[in-house]
Chain A
């Protein structure tokens, strides 16, 4: 069987800087793959390549076996990939409901059905009372929730979360962890980026450790926790 998401020998350069240097991995359906690494390791760049925002200089990206290298972001989104951002990127001057409608604008369903679905999603994310507000009127944590809701609207098969816990207070953190567990339970493939190890170790089935654009370790949580290369990358930095 094909992996839900697979990257082969990805290389991405920014001028002289090699941000990704032969990254390779595969993630299965329903799997939570944690991606760790210090600041500047290449985590966000990897995610940007996977969702088509950056074109890798070399390598290949496959979704459920289909080669999607070189596709535009909206073509990749249409194949069931959703994401959130390290710094929230909401549609500032649109209501929360309209924010949620954006990823499903090309669905055949009636507007009414889609709005119902958006309200249900906002209810799940505890944002329902703010549904008519502009997204710019939300707090930082609420914007992260809004992004998560927006990502889930089209029921994507692969979701990528870039630092979902950064700058989020503990109660909200716990709530987001539950949501991520729910995504895995729905058999979504989850790519979870964080430089914070605790939450990653708790949620991930498998972990990929990046350093200077290279995969320095890959495996189960226990193996990664004790891996000398990982410890050195974190302490040596």
Chain B
């Protein structure tokens, strides 16, 4: 396979790219088809809505941890702020929902800019500060005037619920996230991010503007959970600080992303699919022990497949890295 001749090398490269993009198209097509028919065949709308939400959340988290090397334990902050942005714009300012959602994304970007100085920290320090900032966001919103945030009762979006439409908007958000990450994984920004993840100082000495590159990655990672928060607020028709800033949202996002494998496009999709289904099956069988068993499954997964499902597959078959999105 390793032919020395340059022209056969470039033919080999083109073949690998073709396989890569064909697989990406097949995977994307299968995902679209699967979710698009859900409302028509009468499958469980809520289950699949949340499945898409988790795929999107895990994919966004992947940009931060898999590409950039940051573990934001307070990832839920973007989600919560996005949820409240849509809720407040719709309920208090009378925005149409579809106009409010982009502002949720914008709110995520603004919050990411505010948190950008924490990108100087690394490893566990970054993770802990991120957790603390999420808590602060929650406190700030909890202590805002009740007329605005609805206090402990939260905000009812009122007559705005449109389950099927919001289902498809969630689907569009997911496709946008997957498309962005597919682009990122092949882009120069993606290579710069991975270099910074592996050795920031060395990347700097190789001419990479590490501060700027990290900021770009951080903005991408913040945008999608914020939109997810907005769409979920619309779907459930209610937002309160207890659920919108629940640490379990970060925990699930992290688990799903790691289960699938960080750093690839397909990893978080596979991870969310497998784990959400597993969660559902366990919950049906053992409604009381479901969290315990899920926790155990996670521990086993991390112990035996530390690089996640896709990551382990690619470690076992390194040659496939070129083909698997």
Q: Contact: B194 with A91, CB < 8 Å?
A: yes
Contact partner, B204, options A74, A105, A132, Cβ 8 Å: A74
Bound form: Cα–Cα A83–B188 in Å: 22
The answer to whether B288 has its CB under 8 Å from any CB of chain A is no
- Asked if B29 is an interface residue, CB under 8 A from chain A, the answer is no
Q: What B residues does A120 contact at CB under 8 A?
A: 6
Per the bound structure, the CA–CA distance linking A154 and B199 in Å amounts to: 19
Q: Are B205 and A102 interface neighbours, CB within 8 A?
A: no
Contact B205 A105 (CB under 8 A): no
Within the assembled complex, what's the spacing in Å between the Cα atoms of A205 and B245? 65
Q: Which residues does chain A contribute within 8 Å of B322, judged by CB atoms?
A: 95, 132
What residues of chain B lie closer than 8 Å to A39, measured between beta carbons? none
Cβ of A30 under 8 Å from chain B? no
Within 8 A of B (CB), among A77-117: 77-78, 82-83, 85, 89-95, 98-99, 101-103, 105-106, 111-112, 115-116
Q: Are B4 and A128 in contact (CB under 8 A)?
A: yes
List of A residues within 8 angstroms of B208 by Cβ: 74, 102, 105
Cα–Cα, bound, A28→B322 (Å): 43
Q: Are B201 and A102 in contact (CB under 8 A)?
A: no
A119–B210 CA distance with the chains assembled, in angstroms: 26
State whether A150 touches B206 (Cβ < 8 A): yes
Q: A94-B191, A102-B192 are in contact. Are A116 and B6 (CB under 8 A)?
A: yes
Q: Across the interface, do A132 and B203 meet the contact criterion of CB distance under 8 Å?
A: no
How close is A233's CB to chain B, nearest CB, in angstroms? 29
Are B2 and A89 in touch, CB under 8 angstroms? no
For window 187-220 of B, CB contacts with A under 8 Å fall at: 188, 191-192, 194-195, 197-199, 201-210
Q: Which of A74, A98, A116, A132 contacts B207 (CB 8 A)?
A: A74
Asked if B10 contacts A91 (CB within 8 A), the reply is no
Contact residues in B for A91 (Cβ distance below 8 Å)? 194-195, 198-199, 202-203
A106 to B210, CA, bound (A): 13
The interface size of chain B toward A, counting residues with CB under 8 Å, comes to 29
- Complex Cα spacing A105 to B194, Å: 12
Cβ-defined contact, A83 with B198, below 8 A: no
Contacts A77-B205, A132-B322 given; indicate if A102 touches B191 (C-beta within 8 A): yes
B318 touches A93 (CB 8 A): no
State whether the Cβ of A49 lies closer than 8 Å to any Cβ in chain B.
no
A131 to B319, CA, bound (A): 11
Which of chain B's residues have a CB closer than 8 A to the CB of A133? 318
Q: Counting CB contacts under 8 A, is B321 at the interface?
A: yes
**Known: A105-B192, A116-B10, A133-B318. Is A93-B198 also a contact (CB below 8 A)?**
yes
Q: Is there an interface contact between A89 and B318, defined as CB atoms closer than 8 Å?
A: no
A interface, size bucket: 35 or more
* Contact across chains for B191 and A98 when beta carbons are under 8 A apart: yes
The interface residues of chain A lying within 8 Å CB-to-CB of B209 are 74
Q: Give the nearest-CB partner of B318 in chain A.
A: A133
A133 to B314 alpha-carbon distance, docked (Å)? 11
CA A92 to CA B263, docked complex, whole Å:
13
Q: A132 and B194 in contact (CB under 8 A), knowing A102-B208, A120-B6? A: no
Give 1 or 0 for each of B174-198: 1 = CB within 8 Å of chain A CB: 0000000000000010011011011
Whether, in the assembled complex, A141 has its beta carbon less than 8 Å from a beta carbon of chain B, the answer is no
Shortest Cβ distance from A134 into chain B, in angstroms?
7
Residues of the A chain whose Cβ atoms lie less than 8 Å from the Cβ of B6: 116, 119-120
CB distance from A57 to the nearest CB of B (A): 20
Return the contact of A105 from the options B4, B10, B188, B202 (Cβ within 8 A).
B188
B92 at the A/B interface (Cβ < 8 Å)? Answer: no
Q: How far is the CB of B62 from chain A (nearest CB, A)?
A: 14
Docked Cα-Cα span, A190 to B301, in Å, equals 49
- 7 A-B pairs closest in CB distance: A77-B207, A73-B204, A91-B198, A89-B202, A103-B206, A73-B205, A129-B2
Which chain A residues have a beta carbon within 8 Å of chain B's beta carbons? 51-53, 72-74, 76-78, 82-83, 85, 89-95, 98-99, 101-103, 105-106, 111-112, 115-116, 119-120, 123, 128-129, 131-134, 137, 150, 154
5 A-B contact pairs sorted by A residue (CB < 8 Å): A73-B204, A91-B198, A93-B197, A129-B2, A150-B206
